[in-house]
Structure 1
Amino acid sequence: MRYYPIFLNLENKTCLVVGAGGVGKRKIQSLLDSGAGHVTIIDTRKADVEMESIMRPDTVTFQCREFVESDLSGKFLVIACTSSEVVNQRISTLCADRNILCNVVDQPEKCSFIVPATIKRGDLTVAISTAGQSPAMTKRIRKDLQEHFGNEYAALLTLMGRIRPLMLGLEQETKQNTAVFRSLVNSDLLIVIKNKNLDAAREILKESLPEPLYANIPEMLDGLI
């Protein structure tokens, strides 16, 4: 099956995770890291020390009991990672009936979406999927990408995020802004950031940016190099 790639905005969204073992804890943390509005956790085991740490935010609710159908009410996204095939299948079927996004860990045939392997560098997220054909190849590709995309990519992305509103504030034509953005990302900024060469970074910005933004260069680079 060929999947449709998508990044979800979980802000103000209510999510449910059924099963809070090792895998479940990782799934819960990834939802919280992605800004989920609220995460409800259901598990038949009492919360351990690690779970208690995860539960600290006000956006998390833990309930020690069996899953029931009403748990799906109002949920935007559901992750099932219990040790019971029966429970996982039931959750999958109920979610399908209600058009709720559902992921059953390690069972793509029961999922309405799968969670790809990812690498993250600040606000940069690179996702990899082999459509379930080869998890081993997915891991190999992720390893290769981790070696290629260093922390300088996160710094450059932060820099571009600082520059963009300032450029738009000049109210130039779109083609002028586009030319500046392309010039910056295709320059040697990645290299000089990686090498922590602040003077070279300043020079590149002066070469690419409109003169009215020269005074903003120190704040653009603050803390990045």
Structure 2
Amino acid sequence: MAETNNFLPLMLDLSGRKIVIFGGGSVGERKAELFCGCADTVVVSLDFSEKLQELGASGQVRLLRLDLAAATDSELGEIISGAFLVIPATSSSELNRKITDIAGESDILINQVDALGSVVIPSVIKRGDLVIGISTLGHSPAVSKYTRRQIEGVITPAYSDMIRLQDELRTYLKLHVKEQRKRKALLWKVLESEGVWNGFSESYEKAAENAYAIISDKLE
């Protein structure tokens, strides 16, 4: 098991990666909803929640029906083979440990729901291309949830629009301003403009109009 001070937050491209979740209850459902949009997600259980059945029917996850309590090490190992990440999320701590041990023998990354594994999955806030992960490394889920609520109150959906606008402005400025330092200063002027932020409440076009007005004024 990794030491807690060795954890480093990373953004990973999971395209084509196999994620195996053991357990078809509420925890497995939550994990599947998180991963199914970006990875090949497999959920293994004898029974599945209604939501997991919906995800399976729509092809967003693959459901593998298996009596995990009766499964042999060989069967579990075959299911785990080729996985990038394994998540033991059954209601049995003993079974979770067994799955963890089998995955660990193949140096597969493990996210344990009842202990600190090699991977900690943070609470995630997404605002378009802005992604924020929050974690207490399992020490206080309550603090993690509280922090998320606090941040969600500050990071409004307008942040997604601002990212889109900043990307648009960067392209524009590269064509019209040679000096990188000046381009950076202009982007910050827009980023710190109350008029631009307030413009998003009306429309993206209004905010963009205000932003280009700032840039044009500085370029004259």
Deviation at 1:211, TM superposition (A): 10
TM-score normalised by length of structure 1: 0.79
The CA distance in 1 between the partners of 2:125 and 2:214, in whole Å, is 32
Any conservation in 1 of the 2:198–2:207 contact (CA below 8 Å)? no
1:202 and 2:209 aligned: yes
SS at match of 1:41: strand
Residue 215 of structure 1 corresponds to which residue in structure 2?
A: none
State the match for 1:219 in structure 2: none
Q: Distance in 2 between matches of 1:87 and 1:55?
A: 24
The SS at the match of 2:36 is: helix
RMSD: 2.7
Closer, same or farther: CA 157–197 of 1 in aligned 2, 3 Å: closer
Change (3 A) 1:136 1:180: same
Q: Cα 1:95–1:169, aligned 2, differ >3 Å: closer, same or farther? A: farther
Q: Which moved more, 1:16-25 or 1:122-131?
A: 122-131
| Residue 174 to residue 74, structure 1, CA distance change in 2 (3 Å) | farther
Displacement after TM superposition at 1:201 (Å): 4.2
Structure 2 unaligned segments of length 5 or more: list them.
none
**What is the distance in 2 between the residues matched to 1:73 and 1:176?**
52
Cα deviation code 1:41-76 (max 9, x no counterpart): 11022x454222111444532111135111111111
Alpha-carbon distance between aligned partners in 1 of 2:29 and 2:154, rounded to the nearest angstrom: 29
| Of 16-25 and 174-183, the range deviating more from structure 2 | 174-183
1:105 and 2:113 equivalent?
A: yes
Aligned to 1:117: 123
- Residue 88 of structure 2 corresponds to 80
What corresponds to 2:63 in structure 1? 62
Name the counterpart of 1:161.
167
Aligned mates of 2:35, 2:186 — CA distance in 1? 35
TM-score normalised by structure 2 residue count = 0.80
Percent of aligned positions that are identical: 25
Residue 148 (structure 2) aligns with:
142
Moved more, 87-96 or 183-192: 183-192
- Give the match for residue 44 of structure 2: 42
Q: 1:180 corresponds to which letter in structure 2?
A: L
Q: Contact conserved, 2:199 with 2:210, CA < 8 A, in 1?
A: no
What amino acid is the match of 2:148? Answer: R
The number of residues matched between the two structures is 207
The partner residue of 2:190 within 184, 187, 191 is: 184
